[in-house]
Structure 1
Amino acid sequence: MSDAELEKNATASTVVLDVVEKGDRDRESTSQLQVEEFDFLSYHEHNAGRLIVDPEEARREFGDAVADRLKLSQDGTKVLWPQPLDDPEDPQNWTEFRKNVQLLVITLAAITPDFESALGVAALFPLATEFGTTTGYVNNLTTNWSVFLLGWGGIFAVMLMHRFGRLPVLFWSQILATGWLVGCTFAPNLRTFAAMRCLNSFFATTPQVTGLYVVTDLFPFHMQARKLNIWTMGFIISPFLSPFMMGFIVAHASWRWTYGIATIYNAIVVCVIAFVGEETMYNRKLPNPHPIPRPSSTLLYRFQTLVGLTGARMAKYRDSWRAAIFSIINIIWRPHLFMILLFQAAVFGFSIGTNNTNVVLLGTPPPGGYGFSTTGIAGAYGTPIVAVLVGEVLGRYFNDWVMNISIRRNNGVFIAENRLWTCYIGTVLYVTGFVTLGAAFQEHLSIGALVMGWGISGVAVMINTVSIYAYCNDCFPRHQGEISGLINLARTLGGFGVAYFQIPWAEKSGALQTFGVEVAVVAGLFLLIVPTLQLKGAALRARYSP
């Protein structure tokens, strides 16, 4: 080969190498640009309702450069959303023990609002006797209005948490709730007692809107439904705990002891919050998540965080008052949220009404009721307690199963509407339980029928509620507080109204007709709402997500 040909080949090889190197540089530049443009902190919020969970699907959709930087679960099978920062103070990086301790704290606190509101169930007949009035008047003046205020108190608590954090609002609300309980214990007349109960409900409800915040602060997406199951169990079981426990006390002592013991429990919760609770709000979107200097003393920092001094100093880096106040209005009108809230209001509302009604029907002498003694009524309330525990176990595994099936069927992507499959089972159980309960009261069936009906409906409420919380959280991942506040408001408004008409209706037309019409409403709302959301939910999210 001549020198000219060798030189020509060398030149060609150089050109080829230059092209290859340029292509590599272009790909590297594209990958780098892709990584820089990808929002690791907020992707799960901007893609609400559709999350890529499988690492291989993430590699296909995001590219190798982004996928290589995504943090995965310990077993490497799921992408973590939200993506934890490289900061040991990020709650997502806390140890499992530390996380579960905080979950326990908020669950213990979540028991207090409905536990205290339902104290009136155990003390209903003694209150009517002491103050010389009827059980219906006591129910309407005290229990119903305390249920009503449980919902509104949570709305205001969410506004404060936007500015000052979770821990101080939780701490001060429980201190005030404890004070109003003391007022209930020593109330000299019925009107004072009613005022104290209503004020207690308004402030005590804060843990019922804090739990969703805490769960999403601490746990990644794929574990949230399981942890929500534990927190929701706390406030669903609580209205049955007080009639069950305090009913035995009222049978042998003054009704004031029921409120005195509840005051002691509330004080214990305050101490647990003070000594064990931690602030889980983490400002991951700030360039520096810790913009204010911390005191050198750990004890001083903890005290300042607990009482709200740290939160007050951090408020300028968080949502404005305008944003905090109007955030709930900003999402309540979204069609997919409003529809599911309507369904939850009926499901939980009729359940709350039944809790207040059953004590009357159980205590009324035959033929109007079962004629149970105070001790017998207390024992009967063990049924829904067991039902909620069964619902927690079933929901824990069933929600995980639905999530995993959904991810596999959608090629590694989770779609929020798949959460609602559990409502199909929950609604069937709800109808079965309520009809059985109504028939048991009207036809004076055996205690076994009463237990089965009440128990099945309790399992149904647990399954439906967890599914709805998880679905709403998936659709609105930036608004956990608002979601909690609105679901809490929906369920309490539903329960507030039911107690006014349920007993007179059952006395006039029979419990079977009353409970039958109520489950017909629930079933009708289910058929109108849940399939519609599953069919049109993606389009609604795309058009109406904030």
Structure 2
Amino acid sequence: MEKPTLVDEMREMDETVNSSPAAMSPHLPDPELKNADPTDMNNPQNWSRTRKNLLFLALMGSSLLADGAMVWGGTLVTPQAMEWGVSVAHSATSMNYGILLQGFGGMFAVPLIEAYGRYPVWIWPQVITMFMVLGATLSHDWSTFTVFRSLQGLFGTVPQVIGLPIIHDMYSPEEWPRMVNIWGTTFMVGPFLGPAIAGYIGAGTNWRDSFGVLTALYGLSTFAVLAFGAETYYNPGKAPTSRVGAYFGVGNTKLPKGSTLWYWCKVMVLYVFKFPLLMTGLGILITFTWPIGITTTIDSFLHSPPYNFDTIEASSMRFAGVIGALCGWLVGYLFNGWVYKRYHANWWTEYRLHGVWVPLGSLTFGLLTYGLTMNFGKHWIGIAFGWIMVNIGMVAIIVAVTAYALEKYPEQSTVVSAILNMWRTCGGFAVGYFQPAWIARNGLGLVFGIQAIIVSVSVVLCIVPVLITQRRKSSVGAA
């Protein structure tokens, strides 16, 4: 008998997942949970409100640091460049590998979460990341600093993935949307709030003290995870795992470790190449490329003529990013509510994707405003306004795509979130390497104009095929 190929295995697994998602995923109601004792205090959903809130606050703290700490040095690249004798543009690339590895770190975490439980995959990367930040703080050359920052990105991204399963374990389905929205704001403000705080501290002392404060914040966050964190995977009828056992994933889940790891690795590969998720993921990659480029390179422009911002002024500019991100989240949230009310009688999941068109206009207009303001040396308010518009578009697009993907594949919410997070971080990895030379060659106005065209055309080419193919499938299914 011919041995089945990997493609055959994936097809069989796809049919299994689609036919019985509740049996394969901890995020849908498990048949065993229906018979669980509603008074069983081992069930995280029966924990006291205080215990839930403390654990959720610890999750919020580590999630805020995931992105916020990765771009913490964005406002400190100039003093670092002077100390290490490198160009400012080269100094800014110290974050790039860390941003890239954030995406892959989240992908690696998913199988471990399902095999060993939530708590060990949360606490140990948190501890490792704290020491990576300490290593970056004590570094005396650019290469060593970059290695530690890259490892910080790899391990520090876990809270961005583990939050969904923890929320699904700990809260009732009616509470999921509200808690996910609260938790999700950490990804909106973290990348802009972190560099602002870092710059304020660095302006009063130096970049090394600023990273020392970041190390202390990671220490405080780690203490909170140790004090208030717990394993939230619930095994009905099974005695709770000891605290020491929970640290090492012993008895946290009811599944065999080896086969579980292999199964979830295959699931990750399967979902990466699902057409709707692949196309929308590529759209996210392209959408995030240029805004992340702004986040990692804006200081080199603000510190140069004609603006000549000092560290405090450049750090304060980051609040334009915060305002834009929060406004983008609000736009996406309101659209998702409106579109469901408008079309719920004849609902089609792909209606969610229509939420990208208005934000795409905002993103395009913002890139043009940002680039042309700098190109002609106009007032810094034009830079701030352009950045706000860019972030409104970027965040509203990711909100629309995430809402679509989670509704399209509700049985694999953690996998879907990890995949979208991978595309998001991959988008901003390379731009820091080629954008400065591109601008030097062609000028700010032309470069950001081309970026606006690339975003507009690419998002249309990624989203429209999904709308067309899924509409055809829907029509065939209805027939």
Common fold: TM-score over 0.5: yes
For the 8 Å contact 2:200–2:311, the answer to whether it is kept is yes
**For residues 541 and 521 of structure 1, do their structure 2 counterparts lie closer, same or farther at Cα, with a shift above 3 Å needed?**
farther
* TM-score (normalizing by structure 1): 0.75
For the 8 Å contact 1:44–1:82, the answer to whether it is kept is no
C-alpha distance in structure 1 between counterparts of 2:201 and 2:165, whole Å? 36
C-alpha distance in structure 1 between counterparts of 2:357 and 2:437, whole Å? 31
Determine which of 349, 364, 369 is the counterpart of 2:304.
364
Matched position secondary structure for 1:108: helix
Determine which of 192, 198, 223 is the counterpart of 1:246.
198
Matched position secondary structure for 1:314: coil
1:135 paired with 2:88, answer yes
For the 8 Å contact 1:432–1:453, the answer to whether it is kept is yes
C-alpha distance in structure 2 between counterparts of 1:534 and 1:97, whole Å? 44
1:112 paired with 2:65, answer yes
**For residues 99 and 468 of structure 1, do their structure 2 counterparts lie closer, same or farther at Cα, with a shift above 3 Å needed?**
farther
Matched position secondary structure for 2:251: helix
Aligned residue for 2:450? 517
1:350 paired with 2:290, answer yes
C-alpha distance in structure 2 between counterparts of 1:454 and 1:421, whole Å? 23
**For residues 442 and 331 of structure 1, do their structure 2 counterparts lie closer, same or farther at Cα, with a shift above 3 Å needed?**
same
1:341 paired with 2:281, answer yes
In the TM superposition, residue 455 of structure 1 has moved relative to its aligned partner by 0.9
**Counterpart amino acid of residue 210 in structure 1:** I
Q: May I ask how many residue pairs the two structures share in their alignment?
A: 452
**Counterpart amino acid of residue 211 in structure 1:** G
Matched position secondary structure for 1:309: coil
In the TM superposition, residue 174 of structure 1 has moved relative to its aligned partner by 0.4
**Counterpart amino acid of residue 488 in structure 1:** N
* TM-score (normalizing by structure 2): 0.85
C-alpha distance in structure 1 between counterparts of 2:117 and 2:254, whole Å? 9
**Counterpart amino acid of residue 293 in structure 1:** A
In the TM superposition, residue 148 of structure 1 has moved relative to its aligned partner by 1.6
Aligned residue for 1:405? 342
C-alpha distance in structure 2 between counterparts of 1:194 and 1:222, whole Å? 43
C-alpha distance in structure 1 between counterparts of 2:217 and 2:120, whole Å? 19
1:423 paired with 2:351, answer no
In the TM superposition, residue 534 of structure 1 has moved relative to its aligned partner by 2.9
C-alpha distance in structure 2 between counterparts of 1:524 and 1:193, whole Å? 38
In the TM superposition, residue 329 of structure 1 has moved relative to its aligned partner by 1.0
For the 8 Å contact 2:75–2:198, the answer to whether it is kept is yes
Aligned residue for 1:450? 383
In the TM superposition, residue 177 of structure 1 has moved relative to its aligned partner by 0.2
Aligned residue for 1:392? 329
Aligned residue for 1:381? 318
CA deviations 1:72-122 (Å, max 9, x no partner) are xxxxxxxx9758735435556667776665544333222212222212212
**For residues 102 and 458 of structure 1, do their structure 2 counterparts lie closer, same or farther at Cα, with a shift above 3 Å needed?**
farther
Aligned residue for 1:155? 107
Aligned residue for 2:263? 323
In the TM superposition, residue 234 of structure 1 has moved relative to its aligned partner by 0.8
C-alpha distance in structure 2 between counterparts of 1:92 and 1:538, whole Å? 38
C-alpha distance in structure 2 between counterparts of 1:291 and 1:468, whole Å? 38
In the TM superposition, residue 373 of structure 1 has moved relative to its aligned partner by 1.3
**Counterpart amino acid of residue 109 in structure 1:** S
Structure 1 unaligned runs (5+)?
Answer: 1-41, 47-79, 283-288, 296-300
In the TM superposition, residue 294 of structure 1 has moved relative to its aligned partner by 3.0
CA deviations 1:398-449 (Å, max 9, x no partner) are 3233333332x32xxx532122232122212111211111111112222221
Matched position secondary structure for 1:406: helix
RMSD: 3.0
In the TM superposition, residue 526 of structure 1 has moved relative to its aligned partner by 2.4
Matches within 5 A, 1:134-213: 134-140=87-93, 142-213=94-165
In the TM superposition, residue 345 of structure 1 has moved relative to its aligned partner by 0.5
In the TM superposition, residue 319 of structure 1 has moved relative to its aligned partner by 5.5
CA deviations 1:33-84 (Å, max 9, x no partner) are xxxxxxxxx99948xxxxxxxxxxxxxxxxxxxxxxxxxxxxxxxxx97587
For the 8 Å contact 2:70–2:149, the answer to whether it is kept is yes
Aligned residue for 2:373? 440
In the TM superposition, residue 224 of structure 1 has moved relative to its aligned partner by 4.6
Aligned residue for 1:230? 182
In the TM superposition, residue 225 of structure 1 has moved relative to its aligned partner by 4.9
In the TM superposition, residue 263 of structure 1 has moved relative to its aligned partner by 1.0
In the TM superposition, residue 323 of structure 1 has moved relative to its aligned partner by 0.6
Aligned residue for 2:272? 332
**For residues 230 and 456 of structure 1, do their structure 2 counterparts lie closer, same or farther at Cα, with a shift above 3 Å needed?**
farther
Determine which of 284, 288, 294 is the counterpart of 2:240.
294
In the TM superposition, residue 249 of structure 1 has moved relative to its aligned partner by 1.8
In the TM superposition, residue 235 of structure 1 has moved relative to its aligned partner by 1.9
**Counterpart amino acid of residue 248 in structure 1:** Y
Could you tell me the percent identity over the aligned residues? 26
Matched position secondary structure for 1:293: coil
**For residues 403 and 215 of structure 1, do their structure 2 counterparts lie closer, same or farther at Cα, with a shift above 3 Å needed?**
farther
CA deviations 1:360-403 (Å, max 9, x no partner) are 1111123xxx2211121111111111222333344343323333
C-alpha distance in structure 2 between counterparts of 1:44 and 1:348, whole Å? 34
**For residues 114 and 107 of structure 1, do their structure 2 counterparts lie closer, same or farther at Cα, with a shift above 3 Å needed?**
same
Matched position secondary structure for 1:365: coil
C-alpha distance in structure 2 between counterparts of 1:461 and 1:308, whole Å? 37
In the TM superposition, residue 207 of structure 1 has moved relative to its aligned partner by 0.9
C-alpha distance in structure 1 between counterparts of 2:194 and 2:161, whole Å? 21
Determine which of 260, 266, 271 is the counterpart of 2:212.
260
For the 8 Å contact 1:114–1:238, the answer to whether it is kept is yes
Determine which of 116, 120, 125 is the counterpart of 2:78.
125
In the TM superposition, residue 202 of structure 1 has moved relative to its aligned partner by 0.8
For the 8 Å contact 2:21–2:28, the answer to whether it is kept is no
Moved more, 94-103 or 250-259: 94-103
